[in-house]
Structure 1
């Protein structure tokens, strides 16, 4: 298992597509910083309440294009580097060489773990760096409700934490985003057994993400959409029951992948 993990780690992180995916996320964040944050460096105290990095970083901004673009594209960016590797291993015969030297269960587990990790890092790293950039220009003023500056509201998830310990709120939300997008990326592994098209396999996490968004918009149940509740500014208010339910469905998808792949001949 250890040798497999090292080999899959090298395949996942030592490739140009991974760097490009992280790079695209960073470019969106830098674009947002340059257009919406840096120009405010000389106007911090012109409002009734000082501008804060917690309100103006990409994850806290509800009024700019870049946060919408980032959270729309991130499922694709997460899947591009590695999510299609399982499908490619089967089609190219690489999996035969692996299974001669190791157990199938170990191979499948390492593939699932590394797919999760690549999705988690691609989604969270640009966001963390964006907040660091914003913090270099704007002060980390404690959020205050009723000022009209901060995107949150008392009924949002972890509202008390946001208004009392915003760094903890930010840290926990980055973890939530990383876990959700990491699990969402693993859906591509299950899709490898459902289609013969590698492009569709890689797009499957995005298609599931887009499907939930579309259904939530058509039915009016916007609280179901991860496109809304995964943004730290929470333009859409949801509940922990919904978030936990969707996470459990993604975990179930991973469990189905491991079960089906273990039983199915993949050579």
Structure 2
């Protein structure tokens, strides 16, 4: 398991799709700080309470292109490695891999590598963005009402008592769900060899869930809403955890069972 996992992790993180996607995301973050955040912080209407890393980070994540990036998360996280299983099958590369490891170990290694690339691709630039802001702006104590966060949203007390933990919390849940969306795309490769279908399946599921929650008046159940650091009212941490565990279990079970049978045909 160790050798095939190391091999898949190397393919995932050293591959050009991951490096290019991460590089472009990081470049945008730097551009955002230089040409959007800093000019905004220099505006006359900005108060001392507003020129803090936390305020600027939340404001950036809720406006402009970053809000769009959160919406299109499922399309971004599949780019590094979710298509790899379909590609391996299409090129009969799995025949070579099965010489090195058992089928189940290969599938599990593929699942882990895909999950990690999706999560890291999405979260790492957001975390670096906040770290850079802490180096550029003073971290003044915040008072309730300072941040543009909805009252009653998840972890709002933590936001004011320990902003760094608040950032880490949202980075963690975004990492978990970004990884989950990446393995959804990976699992789609069980049924098609077309990369564009693999990449679109998680986004279609994302849209369907968002639409159902919107029409049912349950925005606090929509990942597209509760993953935003700006928060959504009445979001439940228990629901977020249980939903993620349930979906990950189902996805992993389907991928291992169907994948194993698929290779036996």
Structure 1-normalised TM-score? 0.89
Q: CA deviation at 1:188?
A: 1.4
Give distance in 2, aligned partners of 1:76 and 1:50: 32
- Give CA deviations for 1:178-203 in whole Å, capped at 9, x if unaligned: 11111111011221123342211122
Give distance in 1, aligned partners of 2:186 and 2:62: 35
The match for 1:130 is 129
Give distance in 1, aligned partners of 2:158 and 2:174: 17
Change (3 A) 1:263 1:134: same
Q: CA deviation at 1:10?
A: 1.7
The match for 1:238 is 235
Q: CA deviation at 1:204?
A: 1.8
The match for 2:20 is 20
Q: CA deviation at 1:143?
A: 3.0
The match for 2:226 is 229
Give distance in 2, aligned partners of 1:151 and 1:206: 28
Aligned pair 1:163/2:141, yes or no?
no
The match for 1:214 is 211
Q: CA deviation at 1:247?
A: 0.6
Q: CA deviation at 1:81?
A: 1.3
Give distance in 1, aligned partners of 2:66 and 2:241: 23
Give distance in 2, aligned partners of 1:137 and 1:213: 36
Change (3 A) 1:46 1:127: closer
Q: CA deviation at 1:155?
A: 1.3
Give distance in 2, aligned partners of 1:151 and 1:161: 14
The match for 2:89 is 90
The alignment of Structure 1 onto Structure 2 pairs a total of residues equal to 264
Structure 1: 5+ residue stretches without partners: none
The match for 1:144 is 143
Report if aligned partners of 2:12, 2:113 keep a CA contact under 8 Å in 1.
Answer: yes
Structure 2: 5+ residue stretches without partners: none
Report if aligned partners of 1:28, 1:70 keep a CA contact under 8 Å in 2.
Answer: no
**RMSD of aligned Cα (Å):** 2.3
- Give CA deviations for 1:196-229 in whole Å, capped at 9, x if unaligned: 4221112222222222222222333211221211
Structure 2-normalised TM-score? 0.89
- Which of 208-217 and 175-184 deviates more? 208-217
Report if aligned partners of 1:112, 1:189 keep a CA contact under 8 Å in 2.
Answer: yes
Give distance in 2, aligned partners of 1:212 and 1:107: 31
The match for 2:39 is 39
After the TM superposition, which segments of 4 or more aligned residues of structure 1 sit over 3 Å from their partners?
40-46, 59-63
Structure 2 residue matching 1:265: 3-state secondary structure: helix
The match for 1:261 is 259
Change (3 A) 1:264 1:16: closer
